[in-house]
Structure 1
Amino acid sequence: MSAPLLQVQGLRSGYGAVEVLRGVDLEVRPGEIVALLGSNGAGKTTFNHTVSALVAARAGSVRFDGRDITRAHYRSVVGAGLIQVPEGRRIFPNLSVLENLELGSFTRARHHRAANLERVFSIFPRLKERTRQMAGTMSGGEQQMLAIGRGLMGEPRLLILDEPSLGLSPLLVEELFGLIGRLHAEGLAILLVEQNVAQSLEIAQRAYVMENGAIQFSGSSAELLATDRLRQAYLGV
């Protein structure tokens, strides 16, 4: 078995006097899709921000490709190839589609910008048709494509997708999960952070379930689907 690409041990963090993460352990191996599941407020986004060095860890460690990045600057984290597509897309609405994409290679892969643009356009033809359009005038589904495309411009080794299906129609959710499967087939490691438990477990090899800032369940997707408590709490069966 290959060594973990991302290895998180005993991670604690929070905001002010409030501790949100309470000793989280999680691993993602090269080329693997791992799902981090949980309801709104479980601590998933705080986990993403702490791993990405946007929120300071209070205890524990984060290692990426064997290197300790627990207290690294967030630009160093991106430079190493750990790239997050944030919840809510966070595109720049007053910039064009092309300008948003180019910003994705500001810290990493700048010299490969042209080739990576062509790759993104091959994945998202609609973005190529709208390169001059202001990003804020696009539909929610198109903005999610743009956010993912911007992440891909940095040539991620691990792509964190934070609630990518949030606010999308069922048809677009199906399209999105198909895209995630395609990126995985190309060898990209993905940490899929979602409330959509059923579809996430269909596509992920392994999953972790977070409640109140701590991991309550972990294992293969098949193992978690067989867990009565999880099925009752998240799948309603």
Structure 2
Amino acid sequence: MLEISGLRAGYGAVEVLRGIDMHVGAGEIVAVLGSNGVGKTTLNMVLSGIMRANAGDIRFNGSRLARTSSEIVASGLIHVPEGRKIFPNLDILENLELGCYMRGKANRKRNLERVFEIFPRLRERIAQKAGTLSGGEQQMLAIGRGLMAEPLFLILDEPSLGLSPLLVEEMFTLIQRLNQDGLPIMLVEQNVVQSLELANRAYIIENGEIALSGDAESVRNNPDLRRTYLGL
């Protein structure tokens, strides 16, 4: 579904991504892990068309990735950003309907029902202003808004950020459920342990480069990862 080769990107003279190679296949959950400042956000911005790559090739669903954000969304690559980025002064229904502005508008009612089936709490609070929701409910809304666009591929950027341990468990269960329905997911996280329990494969980014990659079990058991990220 997604193939990235030799990707370089940055800000002015500062290069952040230094030759990223990775891929995500159909039906996979692939975790992209790393601490703050290693390039995860820059990678997501390039994939979403918010910033341009300096070099490299990105192919999505067999074709070269479109250049603009609107074209990328229309192609089915949907990014649920870090920090949720909901519209706090709009209610839940209005936020969800904005999710199908570029893609999925013809199936708005059907997609709303699917979102409410996955997130019954959103149906219960359908007229509530998004800014008054709890952190977990706002994350549900952000993912639900992404699902309204009928994604062929979903990037989830730090979905567990700021959630309680109980809600983190609930969020990862949800991600697994979405994947079991056939949706390929790129999970960009700092939560190393639970991401590796969920993912099929993983990439560890350090200083803008892939420092470690492989199937999730081998990455989880790698002594370098355990020493650097888990303190073991």
* TM-score (ref. length: structure 2): 0.99
Equivalents in 1 of 2:101, 2:27: separation in Å?
Answer: 25
Moved over 6 A (4+): none
CA offsets 1:151-196 (integer angstroms, 9 cap, x no match):
0000101100000000000000000000001001100000000000
Match in the other structure for 2:112: 117
Residues 80-159 of structure 1 correspond to what in structure 2 (within 5 A)? 80-159=75-154
Distance across 2 between alignment mates of 1:45 and 1:163: 10
SS at structure 1 position matched to 2:31: strand
Q: Following superposition of structure 1 onto structure 2, how do residues 42-61 of structure 1 map, counting pairs within 5 Å? A: 42-61=38-57
Where 1:235 maps in the other structure, the secondary structure is: coil
Aligned to 2:170: 175
Secondary structure of the residue that 2:109 maps to in structure 1? helix
**How far off its partner does 1:66 sit?**
1.1
Unaligned runs of 5+ in 1: none
Structure 1 residue 18: Cα displacement: 1.4
**Residue type at the aligned position of 1:10:** G
Identity %: 62
Does 2:14 correspond to 1:18? yes
**How much has 1:225 moved relative to structure 2?**
1.5
CA distance in 2, matches of 1:138, 1:146: 9
| Rounded Cα–Cα distance in structure 2 between residues aligned with 1:17 and 1:140 | 37
**How big is the alpha-carbon RMSD for the aligned residues of Structure 1 and Structure 2?**
0.7
User: Which residue pairs with 1:35 in the alignment?
Assistant: 31
| Separation of aligned partners in 2, 1:79 and 1:166 | 27
The one-letter amino acid of 2:28's match is: E
How many aligned positions are there?
232
Q: Name the CA distance, whole Å, in 2 between partners of 1:197 and 1:226.
A: 12
Q: In terms of mean alpha carbon deviation, does 221-230 or 185-194 score higher?
A: 221-230
SS in 2 for 1:210: strand
Residue number among 60, 64, 71 corresponding to 1:64 in the alignment: 60
Deviates further, 11-20 or 108-117:
11-20
CA distance in structure 1 between the partners assigned to 2:44 and 2:84 by the alignment: 14
Q: Which runs of 5+ in 2 are unaligned?
A: none
What whole-Å deviation, never above 9, does each CA across 1:193-234 have from its counterpart, x for those lacking one?
000000000000000000111110000011112210101111
